[in-house]
Amino acid sequence: MYSRRARYLMVFTFMMSMLSSITAGAVPTFSNPDMPDMLHYFTSERTLFNRYFAHREFKAAGRLLNIFGVSFLDVYSANIVSSQGEINCTPAIGPGMEHLRYLNDTYTPNQPILVQGTINAIAFGTLMLTPCEVWEAPDLATVTPAANLGDPEAQYQMGEIYSFGIGVPVDVKSGRDWYQRAAKQGYVQAEAAITRLADHERIDAYKAEQDRLAALAQQEQERVAAYAVASLDQLYQTAKNDDAEAQMNIGRRYLAGEGVARDERLGVDYLSRAAAQGNPRAFAALQAAASPGIVFHGSAEAAFALGRLYQASKGPASDAAALAWFRIAAQQNYPGAAELVKIYDAKVLVALRKSAETGNPMASLILAKRYLEPDNGTGSGPAQAIPLLIRAAGLGSGEALKLLEKQAQPGWFSFADGNVNAAFALGELYLKGIGVSADPDEAAQWYKIAAKQGIQEAKVRLDAIQATTRN
């Protein structure tokens, strides 16, 4: 923790301080049987600790020496005026309160505590030993009469007593009631206490909910772990009752050949039954098996099963997912997959066109990419894709903008001029800042491409940009 040199220096400093104090009189130490009570209140409730010591200006900083424990703790020395009177050299020990907890654990009644503060009033540091006094907790018997007579400060103290359980069991309701009485008389500290109390309760409720969810997650982990180590016979018995977790484990084992002869069809069947009930691990196992890799095509059986699962759902997104998996299966000539690809391809195409007509940028982009594919089987091509890309780019699609630029850019080796409609549209987008940041120079480049192909309006726009630049 500390080097030998540092320990020697601290002991030397302490001895010199003791010596200077003895010459001036008795060594000022703090020895009070109430110390554990003060430590208990401040270590058990951070809010109470911060309420008394947060945002205070400390007059000195130094180390707290537990004389009988041979340990040094960073502390601050402060003069704090509260309703209990002046608190001298109170150990206000950091927002984490770790040192205060340590002191609470190690302190015994009547054990002397010495606080050594450092004051840098002159070029050379001067050591000072300062006596400490105990923070006195509000006393119920003393405060109650004044609170009942309407004294707002006493009512506030009653709120402290009940809210933090100072000498009484914690009673938040009674504490809030006393705070409210003081707040009605304009006592600012009580108003702040009510707000903090509400925040505290909200945090407690959040923590309770997180604890509940954590407990449920732990239970689920334990349940899943039990299935993972169960025998195949045990899983079969449970799976008879349509237990999805048992079905998932059986399917996974057959698919991997784990403890049984590998059977892809049987494994996919059990995984599909579990996934149909919403088991996420079964769905993930099917996706892992069906997804093509660098070398392998992926399981056609699993791909077809995933297509069927999405087929059972409704909506354009499900149709598109079903089509994607049916295609993977069809590429491996899985029976019936090719027919389903045709059916779902037509359904997805209709849905995309309807969505694109409403101005949906994502649908426009997907449909345009489809039209740009050679032999896409839709009867549409680049001529139909360009307006869709213009619409999507104008609505902020970066991918559509790049595709549009690719279509408009003249070819290096093919000597193609580039799509004139795409080039002019890009000039408009950049000139007017539609879907992109306005950039006249970039617009001019695209207008040049369009003007070379005879678009008179592009030449007019280009001349206007150049004239503005010259002026």
Q: How far is CA 23 from CA 28, 142, 353, in A?
A: 12, 41, 96
> What DSSP string runs through 178-191?
HHHHHHHTT-HHHH
Alpha-carbon distance of 266 to 85, in angstroms, equals 81
pLDDT at 225: 92
**Among candidate residues 78, 87, 79, 89, the one with its CA nearest the CA of residue 115:** 89
Q: Per the structure block, which two tokens stand in for 90?
A: 């109170």
Q: How confident is the model at residue 276 (pLDDT cuts 50, 70, 90)?
A: very high
Average of pLDDT values for 196-201? 83
Burial of 335 (C-beta count, 10 Å sphere; 0-12/13-18/19+) = exposed
Average of pLDDT values for 385-394? 92
Signed CA dihedral, 378, 383, 385, 391: sign only: negative
pLDDT at 156: 93
Planar angle of CA 256, 260, 261, nearest 5 degrees: 80
pLDDT at 59: 42
Q: How confident is the model at residue 438 (pLDDT cuts 50, 70, 90)?
A: very high
> Locate tokens 């009484």: which residue?
168
- Judged against a pLDDT cut of 50, whether residue 117 lies above it is answered with no
**pLDDT for 170-193, tens place per residue?**
898 999 999 999 999 999 989 988
**Among candidate residues 286, 290, 282, 283, the one with its CA nearest the CA of residue 227:** 282
pLDDT at 158: 94
**Which residues, 6 or more positions from 203, have their beta carbon under 8 angstroms from its beta carbon?**
none
Average of pLDDT values for 158-163? 90
Alpha-helix runs per DSSP H in 66-187: 98-106, 140-148, 152-164, 172-184
- Judged against a pLDDT cut of 70, whether residue 161 lies above it is answered with yes
Distance between alpha carbon 396 and the CA centroid of its chain, in Å? 28
pLDDT at 450: 92
Distance between alpha carbon 188 and the CA centroid of its chain, in Å? 35
- Judged against a pLDDT cut of 50, whether residue 272 lies above it is answered with yes
Average of pLDDT values for 212-237? 91
Contact 259, 267 (CB under 8 A): no
Mean pLDDT of the chain: 77
| Predicted TM-score (pTM) of this structure | 0.55
**pLDDT for 77-108, tens place per residue?**
433 333 333 333 444 444 445 555 555 565 55
Percent of the chain whose pLDDT exceeds 70: 70
Least confident range from 193-207, 280-294, 397-411: namely: 193-207
Contact 319, 309 (CB under 8 A): no
Q: Say whether 340 sits in a helix, a strand or coil.
A: helix
pLDDT at 77: 41
Q: How confident is the model at residue 112 (pLDDT cuts 50, 70, 90)?
A: low
- Judged against a pLDDT cut of 60, whether residue 454 lies above it is answered with yes
Q: How confident is the model at residue 24 (pLDDT cuts 50, 70, 90)?
A: very low
| Nearest-10 Cα torsion for 25, 29, 32, 37 | 150
* pLDDT higher at 471 or 221: 221
Alpha-carbon distance of 102 to 73, in angstroms, equals 9
Average of pLDDT values for 209-218? 90
- Judged against a pLDDT cut of 90, whether residue 269 lies above it is answered with yes
**pLDDT for 314-372, tens place per residue?**
777 888 899 999 999 999 999 999 999 999 999 999 999 999 998 899 999 999 998 99
Q: How confident is the model at residue 432 (pLDDT cuts 50, 70, 90)?
A: very high
- Judged against a pLDDT cut of 90, whether residue 300 lies above it is answered with yes
Q: How confident is the model at residue 413 (pLDDT cuts 50, 70, 90)?
A: low
Q: Say whether 84 sits in a helix, a strand or coil.
A: coil
